[in-house]
Amino acid sequence: MSADFDLYQISEEHQMLRETVRGLAEAKIAPFAAEVDEQARFPQEALDALISSELHAVHVPEEYGGAGADALATVIVIEEVARVCVSSSLIPAVNKLGSLPVILSGSEELKRQYLTPLAAGDAMFSYCLSEPDAGSDAAGMKTRAVRDGDDYILNGVKRWITNAGVSEYYTVMAVTDPEKRSKGISAFVVEKGDEGVSFGAPEKKLGIKGSPTREVYFDNVRIPASRMIGAEGTGFATAMKTLDHTRITIAAQALGVAQGALDYAKGYVQERKQFGKAIAEFQGIQFMLADMAMKLEAARQLTYAAAAKSQRVDADLTFFGAAAKCFASDVAMEVTTDAVQLLGGYGYTRDYPLERMMRDAKITQIYEGTNQVQRIVMARNLP
């Protein structure tokens, strides 16, 4: 009987990647994180730093000019950026979310046309699924795409679109056959510059304020039929398959923000003195830190296992993707809330980063499917 002793040990290459991204994040992204949040502005410094280090879209295959990074490497990049700034981690995360439908189902022509500039850092990619009346019930969308000769004409509204207005490219799900519900939905690549594409005002959000979230409007947008991703009617299946993989990137964000909060709180309690000694010496504080670290490590192991399943496209990926996203984001909310508590009154002020981390953590329980929906997904896909 043999055992695989490397099963729970990430490779030296992955460890070197972590060190590289952490160094970059601390030097080039962390110094702007508070300002980005305060001003609710796009973290251009982070984008520039990630592009210059070719870390903005590491998932793009090598044949299109990308790094061809595996799912775990992508998780590590997002995790380490989120450790200092969750808004900035949405750059590599949403670039994967927006472009993965093209990777999974797109023609070779589409892949070359859109993945190549993404890999080069010349464009970002967003994902348009949700609508004002179609959130968790995405199959109830109303955006229409009507065939007109060699083109399709799109009309409708998409809501909660991350990095809308900044991204050049958008994967858009639209109804091509209203009689077939989910089997009547198709996917398209829409460009920011296409006539009839416009954007709503940025949403005023609790957290991730540096990542613009806007509505996207399609007013008689004419696009060539060659921009359809996969066959007509396969868009919803592609959308769901995409989420199986990309929910793991949300888990990665959750790991990162939780680790950042734990690291900061750990340093603080060793310095803060009350009753004549560091508060880290009090058992109540020690138990809080122990629980935070234990749950975070459990979330990390689940997320990395899910990333391995994403890479192999295992049969139980749907369960593991949902489980990793759900568990890690619940842990992130708990860890960041406890970290604020450990700083007491200081934790509640913007002079310290923990209230931002706590606000940023909340969205990981909501987007790419609320955690209530994740539990439905898990229950339907029990291994």
Look up residue 274 and give its amino acid: Q
- What is the distance between the alpha carbons of residues 113 and 228, in angstroms, rounded to a whole number? 13
How many helices and strands (H and E) does the chain possess? 11, 10
Beta bridge partner(s), residue 188: 172, 228
Residues in contact with 181: Cβ distance below 8 Å, sequence separation at least 6, in sequence order: 139
Radius of gyration of the chain (CA): 21
- What is the distance between the alpha carbons of residues 316 and 360, in angstroms, rounded to a whole number? 29
Residues in contact with 362: Cβ distance below 8 Å, sequence separation at least 6, in sequence order: 206, 207, 333
CB atoms < 10 A from the CB of 272, how many?
15
**Is 368 tagged catalytic?**
yes
Bridge-based pairing of strands 169-175 and 125-128 is: parallel
> Long-range contacts for 12-18 (Cβ within 8 Å, ≥24 apart)?
14/72, 14/73, 14/76, 17/73, 17/76, 17/77, 18/76, 18/80
Per-residue burial over 22-34, b = 16 or more CB atoms within 10 Å of its CB, e = otherwise: bebbeebbbebbe
Q: So which residues are the catalytic ones?
A: 368
